Copies of this chain bind each other. A is one copy, B any other.
Amino acid sequence: MSEFETLVKKMLAGERTALSRLISRIEERTQELSSGFRLLYPKTGSARVWGVTGPPGSGKSTLVDGLVTRLRKKGSRVAVVAVDPSSPFSGGAILGDRVRMQKHAGDDGVFIRSLGTKGRHGGLSHSTKEVVMALDAAGFDTIVVETAGVGQTELEILTVAQTILVLLVPESGDSIQVMKAGIMEIADIFCVNKADRPESDQMVRELTQMVSSLPHDENSWMIPVLKSEAVREKGLDEVLGALEKHFEYMKKHGILEQKWAAMVKSEVVDILTEKLRQDLWTKMESKAHQASLKKLICRKIDPYALAIEISK
């Protein structure tokens, strides 16, 4: 039995340290993943997965923490995965997690983990998906995936979530940026945090207008635009209510199954891509292509021509 398989067995038996080590192996992309996922995968599929995103300083951590406290009161087991592809300069995430971990220390129903920049090409969204599956199999009822910013990597990461909550702060230009970057297309819930700031009502109005201008019929989910002051615990019940309402909506319309199917299909493609990329390097460097590789380097053939040669 591989080390990873052993870790999966221990994790399924409820060992917390096994879960932590297993996640590290996923991040490191151990070669043994396949053996462990054979055991782990059948145990998945019961967790609710939420994505929370927003600009740095929008109060994501505080809001998520407030949600965790509320979920714990209801007896729900919660895991938080903070993904920070743009560390170290964006800062904060890891330190914030330590503070949060201390708060929930000794509570077996809360698990908090940061995923960083260890992954290779496209590896971070792939790893995040597998970490979420592991937490799901470990029996967490709710898994929150937190990302900062909405770039390419973050959008990929968020495909693991069933519901996406976009947190904004009342600062000039933000709502326009949201429109530009296609965040409208991924948001299921908007929340304007730090709603005590004077510009917050204006922002809520703008977002509400944007949301209502989207094409919709009687079966559409109407994206709510909420207000919160996470540091004062204001508005958090409403956010939790909207998250639960969206879950019921997805259940009713068969959307959960669609999202699951899309997620596991992309997982298969990620597994194959990861393997094929390694194979491609080996193939390109093999004797058969040495002469062409030399021609490529001195610009006698171009990269697309060599790609065609290799793929033959």
Residues of A near any B CB (own CB < 8 A) = 33-34, 37-38, 40-42, 44-45, 54-56, 84-91, 117, 119-124, 148-156, 173, 177-178, 180-183, 257, 260-261, 264-265, 267-269, 271-273, 275-277, 280-281, 284, 293, 296-297, 299-300, 302-308, 310-311
Contact = CB atoms under 8 A, between A and B. Distances in A.
B264 A297 contact: yes
Looking at chain A's contact residues, is the secondary structure mostly helix, strand, loop, or mixed?
A: helix
Contact of A276 (B273, B302, B308): B273
8 contacts: A34-B304, A34-B308, A41-B303, A86-B86, A86-B148, A265-B281, A275-B311, A276-B280
Contacts of A182: 117
| Most chain B Cβ neighbours within 10 Å, of A119, A121, A264 | A121
A152 B123 contact: yes
Contacts of A151: 84-87, 117, 153
Given A117-B152, A269-B280, 16 more contacts: A34-B302, A41-B299, A56-B89, A85-B153, A86-B150, A87-B149, A87-B151, A87-B177, A87-B181, A89-B150, A89-B177, A117-B181, A122-B122, A260-B297, A268-B296, A272-B307
